[in-house]
Amino acid sequence: MILISFLLLPAVLLGCSPAVNSSSLIPSSDGTPAYGDAFVTGSIGDARTLIPILASDSASGDICGLIFNGLVRYNPRLELEGDLAENWEVSEDHLTITFHLRKNVRWHDGVPFTAKDVEFTYQQLIAPAVKTPYSGDFERVELLQVVDDFTIRVKYKEPFVPGLASWGMGILPRHLLEGKDLNSTEFSRHPVGTGSYRFVRWKTGELIELEANPDYYEGKPYINRYLYRIIPDQATMFLELQGLGIDSTGLTPLQFNRQTETSFLKRQFQKFRYPSFGYTYLGFNLNDKRFSDLRVRRAITAAIDRQEIIQGILLGLGTELTGPFPTESWAYNHSVQPIVYDPALAKWLLAEAGWEDHDRDGWLDKEGIKFEFTIITNQGNDQRKMAAEIIQKRLAEIGISVKVQVIEWSSFISEFIDKRRFEAVLLGWSLSRDPDLYDIWHSSKTKEGEFNFLGYANSEVDELLIEGRRTFDQKERQRIYHRLHELIAKDAPVIFLYVPDALPVVHRRFHGVEVAPIGIGYNFIEWYVPQGEQRYTR
């Protein structure tokens, strides 16, 4: 699943102080797993919807991942394993997958989960009226057949490599949604899933509360409640962390390197660092006449010192990249060289495109129009705001006037990104482990709610995206994606700025936290707090 990411993640829990055990300040020497307590995490942005096939942002994805299950999921070693599907077979011609579903799964309202729910979810994913960004994977299906209540047979029109992984999509309950408009249903704010946690309530802009599902097919999670607090400012988030108002969040580089080195925070929290599977970029609205000119896009790229951003803002906790894959991916083409920081080249390219300081006022103009535009980015991510300000400064040095506008997350997505109301955007992608990028870069994926909101189109890229989905041999697939990387880097529809390191922090009272290639949190149902260390009484 591909999710728009704000990397990542106001002022009292549930509008009141948490109920704290009197024993919570007494460390326990007993590491025995125990049920109870609450996990309180902080996010800079609220969810937009809790319907998984509509969830395109990371806040929505975080919550949907706890409420819903797919047929498959990635294990800690990044291998696909069964989730709602107990097992499956793939035909020799790679065209058919037969899923055998678990028989001990119930929806949170007690109704049994069956193959009819999978069929219903598929029908919604391919319905033209449903505003899902994930339809591309499921349009490749020729026939989905319900063999019996616990067997699904999926036949593809042609070999489709991401086919199996695509069934990690959260499955929806037919009995609650049949006949409803998924784009406007109240279910989006009162979801019922099969997952490890059940929905309790959602206070817009403040809190989403979940509770452990006692009937979860893998067993009830140890942590009784999951509280997702919306705290739009990273400085306020850090104050909440210091005051133990939250148990976990993503740290900024400054917080990770310096501000968490106090004895109190080191005693209370455990920090983690690993490469995130995504990147941050400056993207252009390619329907804008100025940015449809490749010379202009390459000039702006040459005018930005990406190492200045990585060292100055990320404090070195990130890496430079040149294309649309994370540097950790086997699809990343390390032979592609970046456009180096070269203001003189930038000015020359802009002059070639007709942008010069004709009226001698210090700003470039063309046909009497000043070169000025606005970069929008989301509220609560200080790194992006500071990166935009550095870009603003560097472009002013070559005669381009830039404004920076910071917008609240939900409005940012629904009113500006989805509706293409922007000139340039500073944003990030969090990507699937499979390198299929069809939904982001294919020229057909430009409808409202879809991911190619920049309007990028390249016929050879389109062909490679399709070819990459049909090719099972990884070496051949790598060749395809290396070429795709070259083409997108050459076209420069975005400026690939950096891959940030993931810097999560978790309170030390939580046991069972393990780092794996997939990160942390994959085994959240196994996290626990020993009885003597629990803070929340319900």
Q: Which residues of the chain have pLDDT under 70?
A: 1-30
Q: DSSP labels for 344-359?
A: HHHHHHHHHTT-B-TT
Reduced to 3 states (helix: H, G, I; strand: E, B; else coil), residue 441 is helix
| Residues 38, 260 contacting (CB under 8 angstroms) | no
Reduced to 3 states (helix: H, G, I; strand: E, B; else coil), residue 97 is strand
Cα separation, 142 vs 129, whole angstroms: 19
DSSP secondary structure code for residue 23 in this structure: G
- From first CA to last CA, the distance across the chain in angstroms is 34
Q: Which two tokens stand for residue 93?
A: 């011609």
Look at residue 293 in the predicted model and tell me its pLDDT: 97
| Residues 189, 201 contacting (CB under 8 angstroms) | no
- Taking residue 496's Cβ as centre, other Cβ atoms within 10 Å add up to 23
Q: Which two tokens stand for residue 263?
A: 């004895």
Cα separation, 213 vs 222, whole angstroms: 10
Look at residue 15 in the predicted model and tell me its pLDDT: 28
Reduced to 3 states (helix: H, G, I; strand: E, B; else coil), residue 284 is strand
- H/E element, 366: strand 365-366
Cα separation, 437 vs 305, whole angstroms: 27
| Residues 155, 45 contacting (CB under 8 angstroms) | no
Cα separation, 157 vs 153, whole angstroms: 13
Cα separation, 80 vs 500, whole angstroms: 25
Look at residue 30 in the predicted model and tell me its pLDDT: 59
Cα separation, 302 vs 197, whole angstroms: 48
* Nearest by Cα to 502 from 415, 383, 330: 383
Domain ranges of the chain: 3-50+195-273+503-533, 72-177, 279-499
Instruction: Say yes or no: domain 279-499 is CATH 3.10.105.10.
Output: yes
Q: DSSP labels for 128-173?
A: TTS--TTHHHHTTEEEEEEEETTEEEEEESS--TTHHHHTTSPPP-
DSSP 3-state percent helix, strand, coil across the chain (nearest 5) = 30, 25, 45
Cα separation, 342 vs 305, whole angstroms: 8
Q: What is the largest CA-CA distance in the chain?
A: 76
The radius of gyration of the chain from alpha carbons, rounded to an integer in Å, stands at: 24
Name the residue type at position 269. F
Q: pLDDT tens digit string along 126-137?
A: 999 999 999 989
* Nearest by Cα to 423 from 455, 365, 376: 376
Phi, psi for 308 (deg, rounded to 5): -60, -40
Cα separation, 441 vs 451, whole angstroms: 8
Q: Which two tokens stand for residue 501?
A: 């390191």
Cα separation, 282 vs 451, whole angstroms: 15
Cα separation, 415 vs 208, whole angstroms: 23
Residue appearing with tokens 């505003």: 131
In this structure, the strands spanning 85-90 and 72-74 are unpaired
Q: pLDDT tens digit string along 485-495?
A: 999 999 999 99
pTM over 0.75: yes
Instruction: Say yes or no: domain 3-50+195-273+503-533 is CATH 2.60.120.200.
Output: no
| 279-499 matches 72-177 in CATH topology | no
Look at residue 78 in the predicted model and tell me its pLDDT: 83
| Residues 2, 439 contacting (CB under 8 angstroms) | yes
* Nearest by Cα to 133 from 415, 428, 413: 413
Superfamily of domain 72-177: Dipeptide-binding Protein; Domain 1 (3.90.76.10)
- H/E element, 396: helix 382-397
Q: Angle 460-464-466 (CA atoms, 0-180°, nearest 5)?
A: 120
Find all residues with CB under 8 Å of 450, minimum gap 6, and list them: 133, 439
The string over 404-437, giving b where at least 16 C-beta atoms fall within 10 Å of a residue's C-beta and e elsewhere, is bebbbbbebbeebbbeeebbbbbbbbbbbbbbbb
